[in-house]
Amino acid sequence: MFIPESFVVQVYLTANLLATVIIGLMVEHGYTREMYWAVVPFSMQVLIPVIIGYFPELRLPPHKRGFNWGLVKTNRNFFSLALLMAVGSVIMTICNLELNDDWKSLLAVAVVLSAVLCTTSLLLLPKVLGKSIVYLFLSSALYVDISPALNYFYLADDSCVPGGPHFDSTYYNIYVGIMESLAGNPPTIVHFRTRCDVDVPSSCSG
C-alpha cells in the first residue's frame, strides 16, 4: 500500500500540534510527572501496523513463527548492545521520575550509563562502527544547548529577570507552539507535494 509522503508529513505535523497543546496544558497545571505516562498509549500505537499486517515482510506459516534465536546467535554482539541501550534508557527514565530534584545523582547516573555504553560499543562492535557510534554520542552530549536556560529567561518574573519578557506559561508553551505549527504546516506540505523530481522516479510513484 502506497502512502504519499505529503500525507505522512501532514500527520506528523498535526500530531506535533496536538502534542504541543496537550503538553502545554499539563505543564501549566503542574502535571510534569504525568506527562511520561501520558505518552505511553501514544507510543503503543506503533503496534497497530504490526497487528493489521501493513508491513511488507512475508508472513510465515504458524509452525515457522517464533523468535529467531539463530539470528540472535549470529549477531550476538549487536543484540547485546541493543539490549543494554534499551535497559539504559529505562533506567534513565526511572531516574528522571524519581530523582527529579537531585541533579547530582542524575548526572552521576547519566555519566556511568554513558561510560558503560560507550565502552561496550567499542568492545562489541567492529572498530569503525564502534568509534562512529561513540563519536556521534559525544558530539551530541558535548553540544552546548542554551534553549532550556532560555525557557527560564522568557518565563521568569521581574524579581528574577528585571526587564525580561515575562511571558505567561500558557502563552509560551501553547500559543507559540500552535503558531509555529500553523505557520510551518502549509509550506512543508506544499513542498512535499511539489518536490517530485524526474531523476528520482520512486518519489513520484503511486
Directed axis angle between helix 32-43 and helix 5-28, to 10°? 150
**Cell numbers at 100, concatenated:** 527529579
Render pLDDT for 134-146 as a digit per residue (tens, 0 to 9): 999 999 888 888 8
Task: For the chain, state the CA radius of gyration.
Answer: 22
Q: What is the pLDDT of residue 201?
A: 41
Q: What is the pLDDT of residue 194?
A: 66
Q: What is the pLDDT of residue 187?
A: 67
Residue segments in the chain with a per-residue pLDDT below the cut of 50? 1-2, 196-206
Q: What is the pLDDT of residue 142?
A: 87
CA distances from 131 to 71, 77, 143, 204 (A): 24, 15, 18, 37
**CA pair distance 42, 74, nearest whole angstrom:** 33
Evaluate if pTM is beyond 0.85.
no
**Cell numbers at 150, concatenated:** 532560555
**Cell numbers at 139, concatenated:** 558530539
Q: What is the pLDDT of residue 68?
A: 81
Helices (H), 144-197: 147-155, 169-170, 176-194
Q: What is the pLDDT of residue 203?
A: 41
Asked if 27 and 169 touch (Cβ cutoff 8 Å), the reply is: yes
Q: What is the DSSP letter of 173?
A: I
Q: What is the pLDDT of residue 119?
A: 95
